[in-house]
Amino acid sequence: MSYFLQTKKSLFKKIVPLITLSSLIGLPALAEQRFTPAKFLVKFYSMGLSNSDRSQVFKVLDSSEGVEIDLSRQGAISKLATGIKPKPGTYTHIYGVVANKNTVAGSVGTCFIKAGSYNKSSSGGATGWAAHTTNQSESGDAVLIEQDFSPGNGSFGPVTPNTSISVQGTKVSLMQLYLTNSSSPFTTSNDASLTRDRSLYFGELPSPITINDESQGQIIITFDSTEGAAFDDDCSVGMDLDNNKFTLSVIQD
């Protein structure tokens, strides 16, 4: 399911190449019965372009309360592209901050997402969430929480997301993913005692984007969750989220 929004705002005289983010949560490792989630709630807090130290930022989205999107619903993604204010400058990086927990529901064959709240875990060499059941009466909404990229080993980033991230067909280099805290979501730490409730994406663009001044333009945002979730082959270990595609482009008229 792919959805799009086109909004005309006061933007700038340059095409900002297409940015593609595949999979909001990193490091899936389950083999698999693939399916498209019937519900996929994600809360977005911040998204945009910046220089390397984030001293200069062009904000596509900036919300302290967060914008919760059901990415399985047509048109819901459009909430992310409102009130955009361009800022002249040269930008070399892409960033995004989302909650480190999602709510999902769905099924494939006789395997169902099990209602409840789950921390990411490892079992039998696979990493994911034990939100699985073959009993349909136990199915429902599962809250999936990621506090550690390698559960039990204190891995909070940087890690390379298991994502396809590119700008106009060219891969974003040095893309990194961290688990951070909402009080300072752009501050990374290896402190195991820190509560983590944000996922931070930060990566270098293939080439700098220069915004000179304001003009009319379009913002196009899409999300495709087709087969964006998977159970293990016999529905005995768990599930994971991958193969999702988020795209953003800003184009001048």
Cis peptide before 151 (omega within 30 of 0): no
157-188 pLDDT tens trace? 998 776 566 665 566 767 789 999 999 999 99
Single-letter residue type at 202: F
Q: What is the pLDDT of residues 118-151, one digit of tens each?
A: 999 877 667 889 999 999 999 999 999 999 988 8
What is the full DSSP assignment across the chain? -EEEEEEEEEEESS-EEEEEEE-SS------EEEE--SEEEEEEEEEEEE-TTSSSEEEEEEEEEEEEEETTSTTGGGGGSSS-----EEEEEEEEEEESEEEEE-EETTEEEBSEEEE-EEETTEEEB--EES-GGGBS-EEEE-S-SSTTS---S-B--SS-EEETTEEPEEEEEEEEBTTBTT-----TTS---EEEEEEEEEEEEEE-SEEEEEEEEEEE-TT-EEEETTSSS-EEE---EEEEEEEE-
User: Which phi and psi angles does 55 have, rounded to 5°?
Assistant: -80, -15
What pLDDT digit, counting tens, does each position of 45-103 carry?
998 889 999 999 988 889 999 999 998 987 677 677 666 767 788 889 989 999 999 99
pLDDT of residue 10: 41
Query: In this predicted structure, what is the pLDDT of residue 15?
Result: 36
Residue in the block written with tokens 């698999």: 32
Query: Looking at residues 218-243, what average pLDDT do you find?
Result: 83
Over residues 186-203, the mean pLDDT reads 93
**248 pLDDT higher than 70:** no
Q: Give 15-49 pLDDT, tens digit per residue.
A: 333 444 444 444 444 557 999 999 999 999 998 88
What percent of the chain lies above the pLDDT cut of 90?
A: 45
Q: 244 to each of 20, 32, 100, how far by Cα in Å? A: 10, 15, 16
Angstrom distance (rounded) from CA 107 to CA 54: 41
Distant-in-sequence, close-in-space partners of 151: CB < 8 Å, separation ≥ 6: 119, 120, 121, 122, 127
d(CA 85, CA 190): 34
Residue 125 CA to residue 201 CA, distance in Å, equals: 25
What is the average per-residue pLDDT within 93-114? 95
Nearest of 132, 133, 231, 149 to residue 190 by alpha carbon: 149
Structure-token pair, residue 208: 């700098």
This prediction has a pTM of: 0.84
